[in-house]
Structures are given as C-alpha cells and as structure tokens.
Amino acid sequence: MIRPRSKLRRGELTPDQKEAERNRVYARAGGMCELRGEDGLPLDKGHWPGVIPKDGDDPWNHGHLVHLHSKRPAFWSEAQGNVLLWGCPACHLIGCHQRGLKPVVPQ
C-alpha cells in the first residue's frame, strides 16, 4: 500500500483542488475519451465510445485524468503548465502506459 504524503510538495494542489481540476476536465470533455493518435483514431481498440463514468471502485470501470507531462515538474493543473485530458481506461492504461503511445493534444 502506498501511504499518502504527510505534506504537500511545493506547488502541489490540495486533494480538493485536484478533485476540482478533475471535474473541470471531465466537464470540458463531456465525459468522452479525448485520447487520439495523429490519425484521429483512439489509442486502443478497446476504446470506450460514449460518456465514461467519472468515478468507480475499479480503475477499469471509470474514466481517467490523463497528464501529458509528468506530475512532478508540471504538477496537476493546466494553470501550472500541464496538459490534462480525459481518457477511457483502455486508451489510458493500455494505449499510453503499456504501448507507450502519445495522444495528440486537441486544438
């Protein structure tokens, strides 16, 4: 089990601020997966079409907040320089993490 840090890192958002950022990205995306390759297709063949549930017990049953840059230097928010997208479990966990694909940032 990973223990939570007792103190926030310099510049890190509080848990409430992180949840607000997650809700903002979810609303902006309309709950739909934003992870697409240069060809405009989803990053994985197991892509979830339609609205993805925001919360759930199992990481395979809800959407994910996807950080295009590592969280440490850019931290959590787009205001701090990170690009955040909403993704389905297949595109995020398989496409990005297992296959190493990089999504194109929507314009």
The string of pLDDT tens digits covering residues 6-21 is 787 777 778 888 889 8
pLDDT number for residue 105? 82
- 73 sits in which H/E element: helix 71-74
Q: What is the mean pLDDT of the chain?
A: 84
CB distance 105 to 42 below 8 Å: no
pLDDT number for residue 57? 87
CB distance 32 to 50 below 8 Å: yes
- Domain ranges for the chain: 15-98
pLDDT number for residue 79? 67
pLDDT-derived band at 84, boundaries 50, 70, 90: confident
pLDDT-derived band at 76, boundaries 50, 70, 90: low
- In angstroms, how far apart are the furthest CA atoms of the chain? 43
pLDDT number for residue 71? 67
